[in-house]
Amino acid sequence: MADTRTSTGADTRNPVAEAGSRTVADVVTPALVARLAAGVTAGTTGAPPTLGTSRNPFTGEVLAELPESTPEDVAAAFDRARAAQRGWAQRSVREREAVLLRFHDLVLAEQAELLDLLQAETGKARVHAFEEVSVAAVVSRHYGRRSAAYLRPRRRSGVYPVLTQVTEVRQPKGVVGQITPWNYPLALLVDDAIPAFAAGNAVVTKPDTQTALAPLRARELMIEAGLPAEAWQIVIGDGPVVGPEVVAHADYVSFTGSTRTGRDVAQRAAARLVASSMELGGKNAMIVLADADLDRAAEGAVRACFASAGQLCVSIERLFVAREVADAFLEKFTARTRALRLGNSLGWGADMGSLVSERQLENVVRHVDEAVQNGARVLAGGRPRPDVGPLFYEPTVLDGVDAASAVCAEETFGPVVSVYRFDTEDEAVARANDTRYGLNASVWSSSQAHGRRIAARLQAGTVNVNEAYAATYGSAAAPMGGMGDSGVGRRHGSEGILRYTEVQTIAVQRLVPVAPAFGLDDERFAKVLTRALGAMKALRLR
């Protein structure tokens, strides 16, 4: 790829970062693509597969062509995964944890290649690609250390104290069907696949065709770490064609993507009586309280709004600022926004990268242009940057957005934030909650207690106090997910692994049956039991 980074000269808005020395073509070679393509389950019937194309967002040039899976291929992928799952589930949890911990080390050791692949397929800045590598490490460490504790059998009180010994055990679901989007192809893959493996499942993943290289490389690393190769199948193809095939065979469905598609996937899974988790869209709010440290809040807002060019489910698109500090905050925030460096090539240095596709760019342009036509003021950004790359758009801050504009309530999924001023904290909370979504929120205050109080009033699955999203997302021991239209179920923590299990209750009855015994007739048995039940309550038995 020719390096197109140029200086913006006198126009210092969004100066372009320094060029990296390697090009995408140096990294994504035909040999690498051919090797990774061999990891796709396709062509199982012998017919040559059609090819799905991804493009390098920095230039629009073709990046890779990968074989697409037919419905027969998806069925074959599930058959293979199901066969491999039996042996995998028989390994002890400790052995499975050891595989996860080796994967952790491999991801960190091989990060340069993963970062290159992530940048090449998403167009994001390297610093945001690194977020994916760190999530992969954090999640595999967490489940590499905690799975045995999450999955261990638990004693429960029995119907007859001492005489009924009850144990709750966790069995794997079987084969998990995983569908992932293009925006965080490595992080979201690992978030949901790693705990599925830890619980003894096999996985069939359908990544987005645009971003399948990093998942295919991650699969190679898991196999190197000790996962049986057949236990992780990757299928590729059009979402509306291959996605429903995955749902049709899965024993559990783990979906990450838009609310619209998630609704369809959840219905298909429900019709099969198969459980699912849905990690969907958001219209996340940040609240800057009057007592916030404005420098920290302005710096945090930049991370919150423009990481991965705003193509992040937990990024902030609505910014509520206490009126008395709004001018001072906005001065700091817009100055930092204007100074962000756009970058269109591999390597460190850029603060923000490209949008991923024409569709994303059109959506951003539509939202901003409509808001401006309806009277919004552009405080920073507000225009595409074809001089940097075909899909670049400046980080944008809008003021005075009216409720009729789509950007006010619809997810933009781009580098655009709307600013609103509030007079009271009740008003800020009410407006932040005035959305059908409920994924993530951020609150800024110099008092932790104050921040916590406001956080608890927000209807969002995660709330970060004095951070944008990474404090909750990076804490893999605690659940992460959405309320309302942002989803059903949680990833990370105990919920993130127990969803992949069937709970089974085993009760061993000793000495006497749970029925009349010792010659008691039914009436006497009922009397004895009535006394016993009263005694059990008095003894505070549970």
Nearest-angstrom CA–CA distance, 122 and 120? 6
Nearer to ligand NAD, 174 or 181 (CB): 181
Minimum CB distance to ligand NAD, residue 208 (Å): 4
Catalytic pick among 313, 317, 408, 467: 313
Q: Between the CA of residue 14 and those of 131, 353, 387, 393, what are the distances in Å?
A: 22, 11, 12, 10
Nearer to ligand NAD, 322 or 476 (CB): 476
Give the residues lining the site for ligand NAD (CB under 6 A).
Answer: 179-184, 188, 206, 208, 239-240, 243-244, 256-258, 261, 264-265, 279-282, 313, 411, 413, 439, 482, 487
**DSSP states along 465-524:** ESSSSHHHHT-TTS-B--SGGGEES-BSHHHHHHTTEEEEEEEEE-SS-SS--TT--HHH
C-beta of residue 371 within 8 angstroms of C-beta of residue 405 = yes
Nearest-angstrom CA–CA distance, 458 and 282? 14
What are the backbone angles phi and psi of residue 462, rounded to the nearest 5°? -130, 140
Nearest-angstrom CA–CA distance, 444 and 466? 5
164-172 vs 175-179, strand pairing mode = unpaired
C-beta of residue 296 within 8 angstroms of C-beta of residue 465 = no
Nearest of 331, 338, 334 to residue 11 by alpha carbon: 338
Nearest-angstrom CA–CA distance, 500 and 93? 14
Minimum CB distance to ligand NAD, residue 356 (Å): 9
Nearest-angstrom CA–CA distance, 452 and 465? 7
Catalytic pick among 68, 279, 317, 394: 279
C-beta of residue 393 within 8 angstroms of C-beta of residue 365 = yes
Nearer to ligand NAD, 15 or 482 (CB): 482
Nearer to ligand NAD, 200 or 484 (CB): 484
51 CB-contact burial (10 Å; exposed 0-12 / middle 13-18 / buried 19+): middle
428 CB-contact burial (10 Å; exposed 0-12 / middle 13-18 / buried 19+): buried
Residue 313 annotated to the active site? yes
Minimum CB distance to ligand NAD, residue 271 (Å): 13
HSE toward the beta carbon, residue 331, CA cutoff 13 A: 4
Where b means 16+ CB within 10 Å and e means fewer, 311-335 reads bbbbbbbbbbbbeebbeebbebbbe
Minimum CB distance to ligand NAD, residue 272 (Å): 14
Query: What radius of gyration do the chain's Cα atoms show?
Result: 26
Catalytically active residues are 279, 313
